[in-house]
Amino acid sequence: MSVTVRVPAKVNVQLAVGAARPDGFHDLASVFLAVGLYDEVTVAPSPSGLRVTCAGPDAAEVPLDGSNLAARAAEALAARYGRRADVHLHIAKDIPVAGGMAGGSADCAGALLACDALWGTGASRAELLDLCAELGSDVPFSLVGGAALGTGRGERLRELEVGGVFHWVFAVAERGLSTPAVFRVFDRLCEGRRVPEPVASQDVLDALAKGDPDALAASVSNDLQPAALSLFPELAGALAAGRAAGALAAMVSGSGPTTAFLVRDAESAARTAQALRRSGTCRSVRMASGPAPGAALV
């Protein structure tokens, strides 16, 4: 017997970051949009104990030990229900690794939901969301999907209305970026000035509600972008190539280094993707639209 869960990637259409808190995290106003690039997590009983395998183009970069967020999710749910995490977790990986698209968080939420179904724990949605929040700031959103405003570390969610489909092109960079490293550079770039409280942009929320790509393009923002660019200056080349190809907006996705290009429709997505591929500024190019549904059994 096995259970498979499909989980989407995300892009932040707004990422407002406050000053570092005493616990080292940063308060955020994070407007998440789930997009249709998916990882699939399959769990099956494993008499020999917890085991993780991964397949996909980036599989070699995924840790298969206890540090894997999917393994940690299985351990956390097992501990909560007083049982052993004796499962084989297989991750079919399509979301870029260390790319700022919440791929690790997706696997975490997927493993949690899959183990819950396999073990018949019957955990409530609220319990699963609490566990997600303990496991990582972006994990609750991977469970919920759609669009949501995340506050606190990003883990406290308010679901948002979305009035249409948004088309995106993503340029995957040659290497990954560490999220803590990007936040550290953010802190350094803020030294000596007061960092404002992060607040959600009404323009972003209105553009999402209307399903209006031009309005969204005019209001997207990412406070981590300067930090990501300072660690990875070559990203400027991908951003410029996407803009030159006619993208409505070009930005770093989350902590990067994936760059995200909002385009008007599927046809512009194909054109922009082609131009980015030819530009030689990235390793690969993906197209996806959002909002996409959250973690779900297949």
Interface positions with ligand C5P (CB under 6 A) = 24-26, 28, 136-138, 153-154, 179-180, 183
- Closest by Cα among 100, 89, 87, 101 to 38: 101
Cα separation, 160 vs 175, whole angstroms: 32
Residue with the closest Cβ to ligand C5P? Answer: 137
CB nearer ligand C5P, residue 183 or residue 232 = 183
Q: Which is nearer to ligand C5P, 179 or 272 (CB)?
A: 179
In order, the DSSP letters of 121-153 are: ----HHHHHHHHHHH-TTHHHHHHBSEEEEETT
**Tokens 């351990």, located at residue:** 75
25 or 81: whose CB is closer to ligand C5P?
25
Gap between the Cα atoms of 219 and 71, Å rounded: 37
Candidates 107, 116, 138, 223; catalytic one:
138
User: Three-class SS of residue 185?
Assistant: helix
Smallest distance, Å, CB 10 to ligand C5P?
A: 12
Catalytic residue among 10, 39, 107, 116: 10
Helix axes 125-135, 103-119, angle to 10 degrees: 140
Q: Give the Cα separation of 171 and 216 in Å (integer).
A: 19
CB of residue 102 to ligand C5P, shortest distance in Å: 9
Output the smallest distance, CB 270 to ligand C5P, in A: 33
**Toward ligand C5P, which CB reaches closer, 154 or 213?**
154
Neighbouring-strand partners of residue 288: 168
Q: Least Å distance between CB 198 and ligand C5P?
A: 9
Active site residue 10: yes
Question: Known catalytic residue: 138?
Answer: yes
Q: Residue 33 CB, nearest distance to ligand C5P (Å)? A: 18
CA-based radius of gyration for the chain: 19
Measured distance CA(187)–CA(287) in Å, rounded: 32
Of residues 137 and 268, the one with the C-beta less far from ligand C5P: 137
Catalytic residues: 10, 138
